[in-house]
Amino acid sequence: MALQASFFPSALSTHKEGKVSGGVKDSAFFGFSLSDHVKSDFSCSVLRRSKRVNVSVGVRAQTAATASPAINRATPEGKKTLRKGNVVVTGASSGLGLATAKALAETGKWNVIMACRDFLKAERAAKAAGMSKDNYTVMHLNLASLESVRQFIKNFQYSGMPLDVLVCNAAVYFPTANEPTYTAEGFEMSVGVNHLGHFLLARELLEDLKNSDYPSKRLIIVGSITGNTNTLAGNVPPKANLGDLRGLAGGLNGLNGSTMIDGGQFDGAKAYKDSKVCNMLMMQEFHRRYHEDTGITFASLYPGCIATTGLFREHIPLFRLLFPPFQKYITKGFVSEDEAGKRLAQVVSDPSLTKSGVYWSWNKNSASFENQLSEEASDPEKARRVWELSEKLVGLA
């Protein structure tokens, strides 16, 4: 950590936590009044400093040991072994992302690039999880800023590491917010981080994935059951619904219309579920556009209900207390962070999960199966339009 911090000072994230005005809504689940506490992530100071990143020194220092374009390395006995795979995992500083990073690092077959908004938190999390320094690299990425996304891409590309798998995992969820918060570019935060930041990242790293000589290259975008209205969980109000995309077309900034994709009134829980629909739609659109030509496997998944993660940090304390036992004993949908991490790690590396365009789920015996997406989350016309509107918003069209 000391080496990275001293070589890479401007990649250290010191994101501010700010309270925004406005009260909070009653929980749809427990019907209690909530305290006025909403956290937002403002990245301007990080951004300003990230422009001064000394890429050449910093990244080389971190990655020299792992950067190798050669797919097979000869051992002294002349046997050929597969080189370590390089997998970028966004939001690997906690929850599912961290558990996945740990599961992959433990195999010794992967260099996990932990793409995180809080550099020190990620380093500490990796250390606490017992990950060996040989098996991971922390790189700064704040998905709430497109400039930070572009900077991350530059840093990664400069490192010379091939990109074999990209996992779009990071997410935020603001179920109790009365007022929207915004990314650096002014997009509503949940869709801005969960969908638009990842969309730019994945689009811009596609060429790197394509150029990888690894036997199976993959782009994985984490989805969820709650975005799928063909399930019980997906029918808990507010339900995901992208409508006619008028809010997305207006820029989600509240200036030209609405902060919600469907043009409706801001609702944090719905914004999260809508963002997950976008994640699942984009996985399929990537598949349709690029699978045949590139051989890249595109996949999404529902890892199970990991009711203990930081995703619920903005929820009321009572929800956080009761949600895990509710999922464990009532819905029986609960999975531990470790188990969910193994599932996502499987989608990253299991040779039997190479089918593209698939939304994976797991049954009670923890066996993977191809699951059905809801009508909206599998609508190709909607996917095309979300793709095109998102391209405009992130500056790709």
**Which residues are near ligand PMR by CB under 6 A?**
28-29, 173, 175, 224-226, 232-233, 236, 269, 272-273, 276, 305, 311, 331, 333
Q: Which is nearer to ligand NDP, 105 or 170 (CB)?
A: 170
Q: How far apart are CA 87 and CA 229, in angstroms?
A: 31
**Where are the alpha helices (H) located in 193-299, listed in sequence order?**
198-211, 246-249, 268-294
C-alpha angle with apex 145: 92 to 341, nearest 5 degrees?
Answer: 15
Question: Residue 24: which of ligand NDP, ligand PMR, none does it interact with, CB under 5 to 8 A by kind?
Answer: none
Asked if omega into 303 is within 30° of 0 (cis), the reply is no
Q: How far apart are CA 96 and CA 102, in angstroms?
A: 10
Buried b (16+ CB within 10 A) or exposed e, 328-343: eeeeebbbebebbbbb
Find the part of the chain contacting ligand NDP (CB under 6 A) among 57-65, 140-148, 243-251, 261-269.
140-148
Under the binding rule (CB under 6 A), the answer on residue 172 touching ligand NDP is yes
Under the binding rule (CB under 6 A), the answer on residue 300 touching ligand NDP is no
CB 251 within 8 A of CB 393: yes
C-alpha distance across the termini of the chain, in Å:
39
Q: Which is nearer to ligand NDP, 59 or 306 (CB)?
A: 306
Question: Residue 91: which of ligand PMR, ligand NDP, none does it interact with, CB under 5 to 8 A by kind?
Answer: ligand NDP
Q: Which is nearer to ligand PMR, 127 or 313 (CB)?
A: 313
Q: Which residue has tokens 């097979």?
A: 72
CB of 224 to ligand NDP, least distance (A): 4
HEC letters along 63-75 = HCCCCCCCCEEEC
Choose which of 111, 135, 159, 169 interacts with ligand NDP (CB under 6 A).
169
Under the binding rule (CB under 6 A), the answer on residue 193 touching ligand NDP is yes
Under the binding rule (CB under 6 A), the answer on residue 46 touching ligand NDP is no
Name the β-bridge partners of 334. Answer: 305
Question: Residue 376: which of ligand PMR, ligand NDP, none does it interact with, CB under 5 to 8 A by kind?
Answer: none
CB of 293 to ligand NDP, least distance (A): 27
Cα-only R_g, the chain: 20
Under the binding rule (CB under 6 A), the answer on residue 41 touching ligand NDP is yes
Q: How far apart are CA 330 and CA 179, in angstroms?
A: 32
Question: Residue 236: which of ligand PMR, ligand NDP, none does it interact with, CB under 5 to 8 A by kind?
Answer: ligand PMR
Nearest to 208 by CA among 246, 176, 164, 175: 164
Q: Which is nearer to ligand NDP, 135 or 279 (CB)?
A: 279
Structure tokens, 82: 């597969």
Q: How far apart are CA 293 and CA 343, in angstroms?
A: 27
Which H or E element spans position 233?
none
Show the site string, 198-237: x = touches ligand NDP by CB under 6 A, - = not. Answer: ------------------------x-x-------------
Question: Residue 172: which of ligand PMR, ligand NDP, none does it interact with, CB under 5 to 8 A by kind?
Answer: ligand NDP
Question: Residue 12: which of ligand NDP, ligand PMR, none does it interact with, CB under 5 to 8 A by kind?
Answer: none
Choose which of 142, 190, 374, 378 interacts with ligand NDP (CB under 6 A).
142
CB of 183 to ligand PMR, least distance (A): 19
Find how far residue 343's CA is from the centre of its chain: 15
Q: Which is nearer to ligand NDP, 41 or 376 (CB)?
A: 41
Structure tokens, 291: 């699978």
Distance of CA 2 to CAs 6, 12, 92, 128, 246, Å?
Answer: 6, 12, 20, 16, 48
Q: Which is nearer to ligand PMR, 224 or 356 (CB)?
A: 224
- Name the site residues for ligand NDP (rule: CB under 6 A): 41, 90-91, 93-97, 116-118, 121, 141-144, 169-172, 193, 222, 224, 302-303, 305-307, 309-311
